[in-house]
């Protein structure tokens, strides 16, 4: 425990100091600030060997020959495996967890990714061989000695190339060129009719560039086969150990009971680490073959090549509206790059990229479609926002365009279209049912904090310094959480309690926030609450943390577990206090007897009775524990408003954000400090997408050009502006805590707000369109092009 003060045991004080809504300092920090965090690279299994992966230098090629003899003879090498060995072993490939046909959509083209390439390589960096050696350096030395013969094929890394008629096929057996799937939501007839009758339409083509999650800890796995028991243990930097177990067992043909997966401390994930990777399976297989543990830790260069990437989508969107700016219909047709294979969660971004297009607006007709297109790139996966940024970005840009066409204030056009506070539950054209929200209230608060109306004088001030100034706003909505999950509470004979979490904290502070909940609900001293996660042996079941799911799904499941504990303990409390059960209630953190204020018992004291060796346990059973589950069947919809003011240097194109405001509705704030931290981090990534980040492949060669953190464009501290945040909460009606998620919100709200401001700044120069990232060269190019066309008009 980080706190070295006397334990607080009085429930009222516990609630005041540690309960929900308090900015409790994090329990997990003590180990992190002293260097005692235990990440996968810190795990030392005695006599572990070390693995390196040989990777394809080509974006697209057939493998026509292999020679590993030189590698096998390299000093320290214990084992070399190739795709031939994978085929001989009969392993299945990694495949999508869900395909469109599972959701009632037209059948997509399912792919199976072998854990080492067998006949073809489909992106630069795809693994073609595994070397296991005594040391990591020796394994790296042998990489160059593996000879693979490639018959290089043309590659398609760019969406336009991959989707073109007659493009080279990434999967020869795909029946429709490179189309992996088609998804659509909405009503074509109603939408077409609305567009046909609409007094106004605007249309846009927008790019969401490819992004790389780049958590500071790269991926890594340590695999062990235990000869004595015929079982396996995998330590892996995963956001979802149970999910990884399921996927890996499917690939290797192992029963899930035979594989234990442990996620130790994980240094960031952002969705990229939500599913298993080939290396997870490779180290387990290799361990069985050599009889020793096998450790593989990715270099950053490898990570840049092989981590799943986000976004990489192009969308053509149209908005139909009336003279008052009221939306009549939205239409969108998009393409999203799937990569060389469909990753387990590869479908997720595409689904969300459509379903949130109607956003917070009263949209009566919509038709939104997307095609997933195979590309010779790393596979598409969920990356903070996972499709919600794409959806919200489109709608916000369309609304801005409509406002400009009508000469309407951009905040006003939102007001005219918001779903009203009284119109909930509201069912969208994409089959969401929003439960609650006060969009006007959040918007108005943001406008006030940002001094939206005072912009002109600041614009003049910037102009006096030779700079353009722009103001932009965005409103966004998204879904907190996917699937279901399970949480347990387990007391021990000493009367202290463990939370056994199916979720998986890797920076979100669950060790603290879930303990806050239990402290408040069960009146338990904060220090007496232990947190267990991340081990499939210790946690019977879970689904990990991604998609901003844990506060609602984990929190609500934990509430169900806490309520079950109370119900189980109440009769025991009554028996111990020698009163009737009906007279005992658990209120204000302890068991109290109605009509007798002198009599009460703490949960701890009652719990201990469940562990007596005999006597009362004959009646009530041994052990006090409870489990709860919750699911996203009734979703939660966090939402918020971002307002950005920035300056653009018209000579260099550099964009510098000057002021930034975020107002969020997260339902209920569990720990304000932690929630705000999520907004800061999410903002940095959203800003990164808007201004600098780009995972760029060379269109001709298929090589990755942004293969280092510097080339990619990672935001540094000098790039972050001053942020002002506020919460304006409307409790969620569909879960007992009232929470809405916060983890991905800022990443979703930032790109449209920033681009809105950039375009606002550039509009006087005649610039009407710009795609992300708004790097200085692209901004300058847009200014130059607009100037040239203006000259053409006037000369």
Task: Please list, in sequence order, all residues whose beta carbon lies within 8 angstroms of the beta carbon of residue 172, skipping any fewer than 6 positions away.
Answer: none
Return the structure tokens found at 398.
């369309």
Return the structure tokens found at 464.
């006096």
**For the chain, what's the residue count?**
795
Pick the closer one to another protein by CB: 674 or 739. Answer: 674
CA atoms within 13 A on the CB side of 112: 14
Smallest separation, CB 384 to another protein (Å)? 10
What is the spatial distance between Cα 227 and Cα 783, in angstroms, rounded to a whole number? 67
Pick the closer one to another protein by CB: 105 or 719. Answer: 719
Among 15, 22, 26, 620, binds another protein (CB under 8 A): 26
Point out which span in 574-582, 586-594, 619-627, 774-782 binds another protein (CB under 8 A). 774-782
Pick the closer one to another protein by CB: 4 or 229. Answer: 4
Q: Which of residues 712-741 bind another protein (CB under 8 A)?
A: 713-720, 723
What is the spatial distance between Cα 512 and Cα 535, in angstroms, rounded to a whole number? 18
Smallest separation, CB 36 to another protein (Å)? 7
Q: Which of residues 659-698 bind another protein (CB under 8 A)?
A: 673-674, 676-677, 680-685, 691-692, 694, 696, 698
What is the spatial distance between Cα 90 and Cα 281, in angstroms, rounded to a whole number? 13
Burial 463-490 (b: 16+ CB within 10 A, else e): eeeebbbbbbbbbbbbbbbbebbbbbbb
Q: Please name which of 5, 13, 114, 27 lies closest in space to residue 512, comparing C-alpha atoms.
A: 27
Pick the closer one to another protein by CB: 623 or 677. Answer: 677
Pick the closer one to another protein by CB: 326 or 699. Answer: 699
345 and 228 in contact (C-beta within 8 Å)? no
Q: Please name which of 713, 745, 138, 61 lies closest in space to residue 384, comparing C-alpha atoms.
A: 745
Task: Please list, in sequence order, all residues whose beta carbon lies within 8 angstroms of the beta carbon of residue 297, skipping any fewer than 6 positions away.
Answer: 40, 41, 136, 218, 219, 220
Q: Which of residues 107-136 bind another protein (CB under 8 A)?
A: 136
What is the spatial distance between Cα 241 and Cα 228, in angstroms, rounded to a whole number? 23
Among 301, 585, 629, 631, binds another protein (CB under 8 A): 301
Q: Is 28 an interacting residue with respect to another protein (CB under 8 A)?
A: yes
Q: Please name which of 349, 307, 308, 342 lies closest in space to residue 208, comparing C-alpha atoms.
A: 349
What is the spatial distance between Cα 766 and Cα 755, in angstroms, rounded to a whole number? 15
Pick the closer one to another protein by CB: 111 or 703. Answer: 703
Smallest separation, CB 285 to another protein (Å)? 23
Pick the closer one to another protein by CB: 359 or 747. Answer: 747
Q: Is 73 an interacting residue with respect to another protein (CB under 8 A)?
A: no
Pick the closer one to another protein by CB: 142 or 529. Answer: 142
Counting residues that bind another protein (by CB under 8 A) gives 83
Pick the closer one to another protein by CB: 419 or 755. Answer: 755
Smallest separation, CB 299 to another protein (Å)? 4
Peptide bond into 618 cis (omega under 30): no
Smallest separation, CB 32 to another protein (Å)? 3
Q: Is 241 an interacting residue with respect to another protein (CB under 8 A)?
A: no
Q: Which of residues 356-385 bind another protein (CB under 8 A)?
A: none
Q: Is 706 an interacting residue with respect to another protein (CB under 8 A)?
A: yes
Smallest separation, CB 707 to another protein (Å)? 9
User: To 10 degrees, what angle do helices 410-417 and 439-450 make?
Assistant: 170
Point out which span in 87-95, 292-300, 399-407, 586-594 binds another protein (CB under 8 A). 292-300
Q: Which of residues 201-220 bind another protein (CB under 8 A)?
A: 213-218
Q: Is 76 an interacting residue with respect to another protein (CB under 8 A)?
A: no
Q: Is 508 an interacting residue with respect to another protein (CB under 8 A)?
A: yes
755 and 393 in contact (C-beta within 8 Å)? yes
Q: Is 228 an interacting residue with respect to another protein (CB under 8 A)?
A: no
Pick the closer one to another protein by CB: 482 or 684. Answer: 684
Q: Is 781 an interacting residue with respect to another protein (CB under 8 A)?
A: yes
* Helix (DSSP H) and strand (DSSP E) numbers for the chain: 23, 28
Task: Please list, in sequence order, all residues whose beta carbon lies within 8 angstroms of the beta carbon of residue 32, skipping any fewer than 6 positions away.
Answer: 265
Among 69, 423, 651, 791, binds another protein (CB under 8 A): 651
Q: Is 575 an interacting residue with respect to another protein (CB under 8 A)?
A: no
Q: What angle do CA 387, 392, 396 make, to 5 degrees?
A: 155
Among 223, 317, 481, 509, binds another protein (CB under 8 A): 509
């Amino acid at each position: 425990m980080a706190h070295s003060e006397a334990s607080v045991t009085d429930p009222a004080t516990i609630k005041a100091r540690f309960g929900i809504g308090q900015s409790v300092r994090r329990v997990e920090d003590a180990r992190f600030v002293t260097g005692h965090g235990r990440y996968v690279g810190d795990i030392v299994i005695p006599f572990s060997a070390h693995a390196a992966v040989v990777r394809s230098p080509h974006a697209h090629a057939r493998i026509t020959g292999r020679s590993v003899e030189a590698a096998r003879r390299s000093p320290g090498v214990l084992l070399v495996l190739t795709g031939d060995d994978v085929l001989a072993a009969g392993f299945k490939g990694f495949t999508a967890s869900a395909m469109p046909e599972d959701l009632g959509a037209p059948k997509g083209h399912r792919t199976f990714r072998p854990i080492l390439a067998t006949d073809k390589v489909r992106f630069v960096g795809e693994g073609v061989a595994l070397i296991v050696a005594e040391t990591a350096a020796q394994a790296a030395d042998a990489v160059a000695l593996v000879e693979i013969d490639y018959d290089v094929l043309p590659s398609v890394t760019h969406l336009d190339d991959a989707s073109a008629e007659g493009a080279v096929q990434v999967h020869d057996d795909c029946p429709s060129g490179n189309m992996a799937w088609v998804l659509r939501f909405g009503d074509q007839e109603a939408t077409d009719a609305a567009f046909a009758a609409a007094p106004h339409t605007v249309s846009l083509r927008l790019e969401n560039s490819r992004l790389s999650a780049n958590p500071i800890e790269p991926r890594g796995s340590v695999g062990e086969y235990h000869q004595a028991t015929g079982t396996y243990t995998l330590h892996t930097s995963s956001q979802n150990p149970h999910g990884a177990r399921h996927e890996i067992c499917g690939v290797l043909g192992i029963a899930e009971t035979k594989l234990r997966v442990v996620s130790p401390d994980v240094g960031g994930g952002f969705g990229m680490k939500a599913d298993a990777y080939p290396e997870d399976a490779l180290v387990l297989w290799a361990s069985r073959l050599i009889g020793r543990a096998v450790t593989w830790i990715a270099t950053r260069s490898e990570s840049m090549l092989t981590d799943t990437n986000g976004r990489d989508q192009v969308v053509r969107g149209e908005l139909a509206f009336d003279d008052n700016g009221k939306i009549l219909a939205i239409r969108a047709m998009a393409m999203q790059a799937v990569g060389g294979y469909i990753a387990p969660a590869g479908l997720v971004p595409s689904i969300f990229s459509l379903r949130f297009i109607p956003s917070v607006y009263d949209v009566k007709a919509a038709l939104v479609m997307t095609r997933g297109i195979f590309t010779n790139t790393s596979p598409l996966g969920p990356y903070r926002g996972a499709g919600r940024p794409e959806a919200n970005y489109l709608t916000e840009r369309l609304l801005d365009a409509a406002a400009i066409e009508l000469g309407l204030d951009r905040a006003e056009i939102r007001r005219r279209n918001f779903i009203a506070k009284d119109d909930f539950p509201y069912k969208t054209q994409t089959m969401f049912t929003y439960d609650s929200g006060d969009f006007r209230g959040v918007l108005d608060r943001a406008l006030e904090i940002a001094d939206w109306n005072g912009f002109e004088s600041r614009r003049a001030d910037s102009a006096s310094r030779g700079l353009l100034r722009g103001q932009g706003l965005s409103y966004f909505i998204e879904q907190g959480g996917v699937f279901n999950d399970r949480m347990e509470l387990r007391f021990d004979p000493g009367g202290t309690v463990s939370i056994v979490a199916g979720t998986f904290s890797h920076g979100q502070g669950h060790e603290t926030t879930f303990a806050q909940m239990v402290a408040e609900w069960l009146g338990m001293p904060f220090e007496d609450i232990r947190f267990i996660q991340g081990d499939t042996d210790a946690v019977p079941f879970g689904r990990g943390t991604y998609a901003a799911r844990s506060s609602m799904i984990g929190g609500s499941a934990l509430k169900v577990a806490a309520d079950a504990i109370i119900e189980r303990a109440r009769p025991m409390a009554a028996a111990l206090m020698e009163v009737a059960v009906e007279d005992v209630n658990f209120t204000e953190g302890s068991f109290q007897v109605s009509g007798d204020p002198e009599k009460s018992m703490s949960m701890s004291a009652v719990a201990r009775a469940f562990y007596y060796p005999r006597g009362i346990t004959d009646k009530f059973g041994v052990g006090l524990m409870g489990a709860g589950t919750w699911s996203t069947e009734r979703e939660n919809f966090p939402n918020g408003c971002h307002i950005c003011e920035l300056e653009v240097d018209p000579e260099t194109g550099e964009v510098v954000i000057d002021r930034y405001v975020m107002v969020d509705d997260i339902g209920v704030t569990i720990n304000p400090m932690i929630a705000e931290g999520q907004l800061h981090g999410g903002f940095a990534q959203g800003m990164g997408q808007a201004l600098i980040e780009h995972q760029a492949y060379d269109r001709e060669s298929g090589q990755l050009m942004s293969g280092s953190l510097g080339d990619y464009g990672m935001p540094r501290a000098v790039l972050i502006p001053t942020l002002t945040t506020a919460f304006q909460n409307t409790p969620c009606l569909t879960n007992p805590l009232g929470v809405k998620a916060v983890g991905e919100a800022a990443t979703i709200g930032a790109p449209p707000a920033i681009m809105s401001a950039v375009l606002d700044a550039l509009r006087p120069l005649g610039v009407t369109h710009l795609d992300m990232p708004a790097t200085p060269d692209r901004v300058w190019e847009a200014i130059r092009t607009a100037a040239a066309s203006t000259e053409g008009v006037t000369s």
